[in-house]
Amino acid sequence: MIVSKFGGTSVGSYEAMSHSASIVAKNPGRKLIVISATSGTTNDLVALEDFSLNSTDKESRLIAIETRHKSIIQECPNKEELLTRFNGQLSELRIHLEQQSRDKRWKDRLYAFGELMSTYIFADVLRTRGVEVEWLDARKIIKTDSTFGNAVPELATIKKKADTHIQKEKVYLTQGFIGSDIFGSTTTLGRGGSDYSAALFAEAVGADTLEIWTDVAGVFTTDPRIVKNARAIPEITFDEAAELSVFGGKVLHPATLKPAIRSGIDVKVLSSKEPELKGTTIVKKSESEPVIRAISLRKDQTLLTVRSLDMLHQHGFLAKLFTVLANNQISVDLVTTSEVSVSLTLDTAAKASNKVELTEKVYRELSEFCDVEVERDLSLVALIGNKLNTTSGVSGKLFSMLKDHNIRLVCHGASANNICFLVEEGTGEKIVKLLHKRFIK
């Protein structure tokens, strides 16, 4: 059994939907199809949550959503029926936007419109390709806690719900990204969460393979927009892919791999534009495990440095620091320490929906026991591969190549699959080009 996920660009127009539908039709093993909102729609919905949005901007967002979907519906054989349903959803959306209390629960219900809209239309496109799909409300299966915006799935319940509602012989189409809590309120798994949904579904139904259909043909050696001859990696291990998804290879949502690793499901990353290409398969153990497989770049990094003389020969300082961050729900990415200072970067990937910023409150709480310095406009470059912590000579080669650049922070040693360092934003791409040429070609 295969679970196939199609991202926003793979369902973003009638043409894209047609391609994706043909892919589904080709293999009867594809029993559960998970899709995102049409590309751009979630961004429009996120913009609409802003109470201060003036009415012109609000209307233009609503019109963008309407035009995008109606231009797809126009091409569908059942356009009357689809149009009636879509207009209903649009009025529901307008009513939702009238509500005064805009809490996180309200926001998640708002975001869900995107996936609910796209699935009704794609169901029709699939049926015209002869795929008899059943439309499934993901909120019936993907049960989560009530952390709106970044909900945590409840695995045992999801499994039970899947056993009850999903029959092996049927083909289902459902939404990524959304779920519901025990009170039935709609929740979301965080921006880009459809991959994660698909992996949760794959785990719950005991699938052998999870396909992630996107607009790039796999996981690349680096961002092809930066390096022209970057190429798709045929096979990569879960460990490397996990590092890559966290450190900038935006192909997969970082959490996606967890259910797949747990349950031994092969993950394939494929392009719906070029379905004949092999893409990338992510596996537990790969035949080839090169020391350096890929190079990634993550922009917009914030470096936080705290210093305190109290830290000298003291215990508990790090605990105190991390408690403040944890209490403010800030997740940390990289850390280096000296006797009296700690530098760390904040995890922006985990919170893709709201860029992590140090609020005044956090700043104040930290300033009570240390000096705080914040540097912005940094980029993180990561080398991803295998045995990086035990292979001699890698860092020598690396840093001799970077002798003309100022490196703000280095993390090396903790992971066998990653060496990374922070550089000034302006130099990130240049460094990636240089390293790709030297280490990958």
Q: What is the DSSP string of 46-60?
A: HHHT-TT--HHHHHH
Binding mask 147-186 for Mg ion (x = CB under 5 A): ----------------------------------------
Helix axes 14-26, 104-128, angle to 10 degrees: 70
- If one asks whether residue 7 binds Mg ion (CB under 5 A), the answer comes out as yes
Find where tokens 């009530």 sit: 146
Site for ligand ASP in 6-25 (CB under 6 A): 7-8
The region of 49-57, 191-199, 223-231, 268-276 touching Mg ion under the rule CB under 5 A is: 191-199
Nearer to ligand ASP, 149 or 290 (CB): 149
Stretch 77-116: interaction string toward ligand ASP, x if CB under 6 A: -------------------------------------x--
Neighbours of 307 (CB within 10 A): 15
Contacted entry of ligand ASP, Mg ion, none for residue 37, CB cut-off 5 to 8 Å set by kind = ligand ASP
Q: 191 contacts which partner out of Mg ion, ligand ASP, none, CB within 5 to 8 A by kind?
A: ligand ASP
State the nearest-atom distance from the C-beta of 408 to Mg ion, in Å: 30
Residues that contact Mg ion, how many (by CB under 5 A): 2
Residue 7 or 248 with smaller CB distance to ligand ASP: 7
For residue 220, state whether it binds ligand ASP (rule: CB under 6 A).
no
Segment contacting ligand ASP by CB under 6 A, of 186-194, 208-216, 294-302, 324-332: 186-194
- SS3 percent helix, strand, coil of the chain, rounded to 5, is 40, 25, 35
Nearer Cβ to ligand ASP, position 16 or 304? 16
Reported as type and span, the H/E element at residue 434 is helix 428-435
The 3-state secondary structure of 199-256, one letter per residue: HHHHHHHCCCEEEEEECCCCCECCCCCCCCCCCECCEEEHHHHHHHHHCCCCCCCCCC
- Give 251-315 as a DSSP string: TS-TTTHHHHHHHT-EEEEEESSSTTS--EEEESS-S---S--EEEEEEEEEEEEEE-GGGTT-S
Instruction: Record the tokens describing residue 408, joined without a space.
Output: 């703000």
179 is a site residue for ligand ASP (CB under 6 A): no
36: contact with ligand ASP by CB under 6 A: yes
To 10 degrees, what angle do helices 55-73 and 14-26 make?
50
Site for ligand ASP, residues 375 to 434, rule: CB under 6 A: none
Q: Which is nearer to Mg ion, 192 or 428 (CB)?
A: 192
Residues that bind ligand ASP (CB under 6 A): 7-8, 36-37, 42, 114, 176-177, 191-194
